[in-house]
Amino acid sequence: MTQRENYLAEGFRDVDRQNGIEKCKNCLTFIDSLPSFRRYKEETDRLLRPSDGRAFADIGCGLGFDVERLARKTPGKAFGLDASKRFIFEARKRAQALGLANVDYVIGDARTMSFEDEAFDGVRADRVLQHVENPERVVKEMARVVRKGGRVVCAEPDWGSFFIEDGDAGCVEAVSREWTGSIRNRFIGRRLPGLLQSAGL
């Protein structure tokens, strides 16, 4: 499978190595507009309780959509961390255009965050662990940077149960095999409880 055919799965692993980021931007923008995604985003916000704290972080923040929503719901500050300089550049532009003064974006590796211990009341990673090497390290870092009694929220798909409803079973199997085979951690959804427990959460 070529890089172009595999773009969404491979492209999000290292956004800055792509010729352009428009496809990734368009994908994130489209997904963020879906009512079903908005509903589960509201649920992850509810679990983070942004009104009950002073500092929150979104790990693998992409274009910053979730950081913007957190910033509107917290009396404190919302941080976004992403490995992509291009995404962080876009996110900062968006925040400035929206007049959000209580956001901050950091370029960095989620496996070795520059944040201090217990820096946040809540930390979230949404559809990030499926793409990174050593997701265990990311979860341990999230546990490190959240304060005692704080909240860590992770949302990940389980690509092992990926299904497309269609009459052509052979086509569905082929699409499922090609797509899920390109995901670095395709069973991350079912592994999450164990990862969180191992990190002491």
Query: Which among 83, 74, 196, 86 has a CA at the least distance from the CA of 146?
Result: 196
Instruction: Name the domain count of the chain.
Output: 1
Mean pLDDT of 64-92: 95
Query: What pLDDT was estimated at residue 160?
Result: 76
Residue 21 domain-assigned (yes or no): no
First to last CA, the chain: 38
Residue 175 domain-assigned (yes or no): yes
The model carries a pTM of 0.85
- At 199, is the pLDDT very low, low, confident or very high (cuts 50, 70, 90)? very high
Please check the confidence at residue 22 and state whether its pLDDT lies above 90. Answer: no
List all residues 6 or more positions away from 171 whose beta carbon is below 8 Å from its beta carbon.
none
Residue 11 domain-assigned (yes or no): no
Residue 69 domain-assigned (yes or no): yes
Instruction: Give 175: exposed, middle or buried? Use CB within 10 Å, 0-12, 13-18, 19+.
Output: middle
Query: What pLDDT was estimated at residue 28?
Result: 87
Mean pLDDT is lowest, of 38-47, 119-128, 168-177, for: 168-177
- At 166, is the pLDDT very low, low, confident or very high (cuts 50, 70, 90)? low
Please check the confidence at residue 169 and state whether its pLDDT lies above 70. Answer: no
- Mean pLDDT across the chain, nearest whole number? 87
Mean pLDDT of 57-81: 96
Please check the confidence at residue 9 and state whether its pLDDT lies above 70. Answer: no
Residue type, 76: G
Residue 45 domain-assigned (yes or no): no
- The C-alpha atoms of residue 183 and residue 176 are separated, in whole angstroms, by 11
Mean pLDDT of 113-126: 97
Task: Find the domain containing 117 and state its range.
Answer: 52-198
- CATH, residue 82: 3.40.50.150
Please check the confidence at residue 149 and state whether its pLDDT lies above 60. Answer: yes
Mean pLDDT of 13-17: 70
Residue 141 domain-assigned (yes or no): yes
Residue 44 domain-assigned (yes or no): no
Residue 7 domain-assigned (yes or no): no
Query: What pLDDT was estimated at residue 10?
Result: 64
- At 2, is the pLDDT very low, low, confident or very high (cuts 50, 70, 90)? very low
